[in-house]
Amino acid sequence: MVDQATADEQYLAKADFQVLLDLLAGEGYEVIGPTLGEGAIVYGPLRSVADLPRGWTDEQEAGHYRLVRRNDEAWFGFVVGPQSWKQYLFPPRTRLLTAKCEHGTWKMQPAEEPVPKYAFLGVRACELAALDVQDRVFMHSAFPDPHYVQRRQQALVIAVNCTQAAPTCFCTSMATGPRCRQGFDLALTELAEGFVLEIGSPRGRELAARLPLAPASEQQCRDAADARAQAEQQITRHLATAGLRELLLSNLNHPHWDEVAARCLSCANCTMVCPTCFCSSVEEVSDLLGEQIARERVWDSCFNPQFSYVHGGLVRHNIRSRYRQWLTHKLATWHDQFGTSGCVGCGRCISWCPVGIDLTQEVAGFRAAADRALFDRRPGAGEHAASVSGQGRGPSGLSASRPFLQQPRGEAGRPLPDEAPELGQSDAPGSESPRSTEGR
């Protein structure tokens, strides 16, 4: 769909872009944006336009990411890298409090660390959606997180519309992109010599009033719309979301979970790169004398065995149960908790999985198996069903030789006791441990 120009669109020449960075710095913002680092396009401090990865792009596929030189000098001619904005709003390590022992008495002190005032530059549409998802978790839930709330409320968001897509992107399936439609202060679409700029908030309007802008010409608006349409046309990956929650939750004992588990390393990469994952643990670190401690929140993952440790044992004690927890939470039970999917279609977990596990393919596998089961259950379908079983791997990658088993199940779709893990506790999604908060 080619979107139309809006009356509010203005034009910022690339030659004037440094004015924006200087203005933000002058207002006390720490500008964070895309830059080259560690063989990838990562997020870091931006002081000058020279810090942007001009002329570079990213080549992505399942289990594959490479930096590649472009044949032009585009400033934002790439998609998303291994990092996301969550590392600034929900840092990998946050000090919660300190305690000091004085004269035999422990004194607790809440951590008082300065909260940076960030300006995020280059936020993509799927990332705006991811910020919204994390807002629901950390700001709009029954227990708002004060660390997140403060960082988020003072952050300025300058979005950049994608003008190209990677083979791993599927934001169109999740209705999150590639066009930035809300959740930004300013949004830019890159052209060869400048940017078409849209205003998304009163704060963005104030900022725009201090920039050397000109009204965007009709041609510039058309070029920007064409560039955005190009990104949309390049998206080839698809995730069918209709009935997805029911599909996954009605197949908790499907043998395909074992097949994924045989490939999955339980390395947790997919959760670390995901812009919406928010599992964490709390650690206490003491000094050598045992007189001071710091309590810190650190990123954790449902793929880490210890994450489900309760009372001397693991609730999710095998990779099958951990992968299943991750996928069903992302795509099914997240809806129950937060009223939205936990996936925004950014494709990071596909690129950064070392063995190239692709959630869109896994879901397609479950769907294909469900369709086959329906087909096989038709009256008189027995003979045909026998002939199609054993035909090897289907287009989804799911083995067609394994019959789809619609297991009988207990209350709320949980597995029956034949699958009960150690400790006699169900490892089904939604069976929360006492240590759990919202993200398991």
Q: Does the protein bind ligand SF4 through residue 264 (CB under 6 A)? A: yes
- Closer Cβ to ligand SF4, 152 or 320, answer by number: 320
Q: Does the protein bind ligand SF4 through residue 171 (CB under 6 A)? A: no
Minimum distance from CB of 132 to ligand SF4 (Å)?
Answer: 12
- Closer Cβ to ligand SF4, 25 or 267, answer by number: 267
Q: Which of 52, 349, 368, 369 touches ligand SF4 (CB under 6 A)? A: 349
Question: Residue written as tokens 């400790």?
Answer: 423
Stretch that binds ligand SF4, among 94-102, 207-215, 342-350, 398-406 (CB under 6 A): 342-350
- DSSP, collapsed to helix, strand or coil, labels residue 293 as strand
Q: Is the distance from CB of 177 to CB of 168 less than 8 angstroms?
A: no
Of 428, 420, 426, 440, give the one whose Cα is nearest residue 308: 440
Q: Is the distance from CB of 416 to CB of 408 less than 8 angstroms?
A: yes
Q: Does the protein bind ligand SF4 through residue 355 (CB under 6 A)? A: yes
Beta-sheet strands, E only, within 93-193? 93-102, 105-110, 118-123, 156-160, 186-190
- In sequence order, the 6+-apart residues with CB closer than 8 A to the CB of 68 are 56, 57, 58, 59
Minimum distance from CB of 280 to ligand SF4 (Å)?
Answer: 16
- Count Cβ neighbours within 10 Å for each residue of 329-349 and write b for 16 or more, e otherwise: bbbbbbeeebebbbbbbbbbb
Q: Which of 163, 251, 276, 361 touches ligand SF4 (CB under 6 A)? A: 276
Pairwise CA distance, residues 211 & 17, whole Å: 9
- Closer Cβ to ligand SF4, 234 or 266, answer by number: 266
- Closer Cβ to ligand SF4, 237 or 414, answer by number: 237
Q: Which of 155, 160, 186, 270 touches ligand SF4 (CB under 6 A)? A: 270
Of 412, 409, 434, give the one whose Cα is nearest residue 315: 434
Q: Is the distance from CB of 354 to CB of 362 less than 8 angstroms?
A: no
- Closer Cβ to ligand SF4, 42 or 99, answer by number: 42
Q: Which of 346, 363, 364, 428 touches ligand SF4 (CB under 6 A)? A: 346
Please give the size of the binding site for ligand SF4, defined by CB under 6 A: 24
- In sequence order, the 6+-apart residues with CB closer than 8 A to the CB of 438 are 137, 141, 278, 337
**What is the full DSSP assignment across 139-150?**
TSSSS--HHHHH
Residue type, 188: L
- Closer Cβ to ligand SF4, 177 or 204, answer by number: 177
CA 88 to chain centre: 14
- Closer Cβ to ligand SF4, 200 or 347, answer by number: 347
Residues numbered 290-309 forming contacts with ligand SF4, rule: CB under 6 A: 303
- Closer Cβ to ligand SF4, 176 or 220, answer by number: 176
- DSSP, collapsed to helix, strand or coil, labels residue 287 as coil
Q: Does the protein bind ligand SF4 through residue 160 (CB under 6 A)? A: no
Q: Which of 274, 279, 314, 370 touches ligand SF4 (CB under 6 A)? A: 274
Q: Does the protein bind ligand SF4 through residue 279 (CB under 6 A)? A: no
State the residues that interact with ligand SF4 by CB under 6 A: 264-270, 273-276, 303, 330, 343-349, 353-355, 357
